[in-house]
Amino acid sequence: MVKRKFVKQALSQWMNGEGADSDVVLSSRVRIARNVRNLPFPMMADPTQSLTIMEQLLGVAESGRLNGLGKIELIRLSDLTELEKLVLVEKHLISPSLANESRNGALILSPNEDISIMINEEDHLRIQCLCSGFQVREAWDLASKIDDIFEEQVDYAFDEKHGFLTSCPTNVGTGIRASVMMHLPALVMTGQINRILSAVTQVGLAVRGLYGEGSEATGNLFQVSNQITLGQSEQEIIENLFQVARQMIEHEKSARSKLITESRPRVEDRIRRSYGILTQAIIMDTKEASQRLSDIRLGAHLGLLPELNDQILNELLVSTQPGFLQQTFGEALSPEQRDMTRAELIRSRLATTS
């Protein structure tokens, strides 16, 4: 089946590292939450109601109105195994919430996986657009166009005073969550990260880990997103995130220049130690892999490991996750087996670059 390619390939096109400022920003994302008028939110809907919602929203795609996105794939979550769902979570194509609640859940995917439209997640409809590098404005433009297509066919739940109505009150208003995934190792190494993140939260933005709300910021990866959806226009939300992220990018680049100028021997030693361990280790857990991959990502962007590129590093970021490892090797693995398999995969992949 076509859907199998989405769980067998680690690298999505939006992870190709070709976007603006991709040395700091891995990806930009915009997600729009919408609900159908006069039908209960997914958590309160009975099976008949959730099925009605799924068929109505899939019908928009089946009608051909999304043909401009390429040959889209329609996937019902009931057709996926638990492991396949986990892989899609690790690739950021569905949320943990949708993976864990598959009752009449569905997914609409574009061929290059930059568009992921979730049905019957926390809200009836969640339109997600992902772009490589720092392209939050571009992600918003694409998400907005898709939203317009659905709005032509679906009567959205909307209130003149409060805006778009959503399952969680924190999304009421515009229903927009915009974010950038940033790699900030130099700010961490120079001790500036807490000050920067404190300033970010004071201007209405949230900072989370690689997998969003509730996840730990491992591997020096931080997801910065808007918290406010009510009382600001869509454009104000996007521009606020853009301007703050732009400043964070400049701070990180400045910190990298300082590191290489003032502490090059120590920085290079750390990077090459991590590279050596990654190419030789027999056992590697997720947390250590994340940190050491962060080190060599920094090394690549500082010109210390020129044989590495963003595509290789982004591929490893996904392919070393627990679900993807088990999907790749076609069997359930114990934690120790996963750690050994992860180390083997990293050694093998890095060997191709030397």
Numbered residues of the known binding site for ATP: 27-31, 92, 126, 177-181, 208-213
Q: Concatenate the DSSP letters of all residues of 232-264 into one string.
A: S-HHHHHHHHHHHHHHHHHHHHHHHHHHHHHSH
Place of tokens 């317009």: 148
Q: Which two tokens stand for residue 259?
A: 């590191």
The packing angle between helices 234-262 and 136-153, to 10°, is 160
47-62 vs 136-153: helix crossing angle, rounded to 10 = 110
Nearest to 127 by CA among 50, 208, 35: 35
Numbered residues of the known binding site:
27-31, 92, 126, 177-181, 208-213
Can you tell me whether residue 162 is helix, strand or coil? coil
Instruction: Residue count of the chain, please give it.
Output: 354
Name 99's Cβ contacts closer than 8 Å, sequence gap at least 6. Answer: 77, 82, 85, 86, 88, 89
Distance CA 69, CA 114 (A): 10
First-residue to last-residue Cα distance in the chain: 36
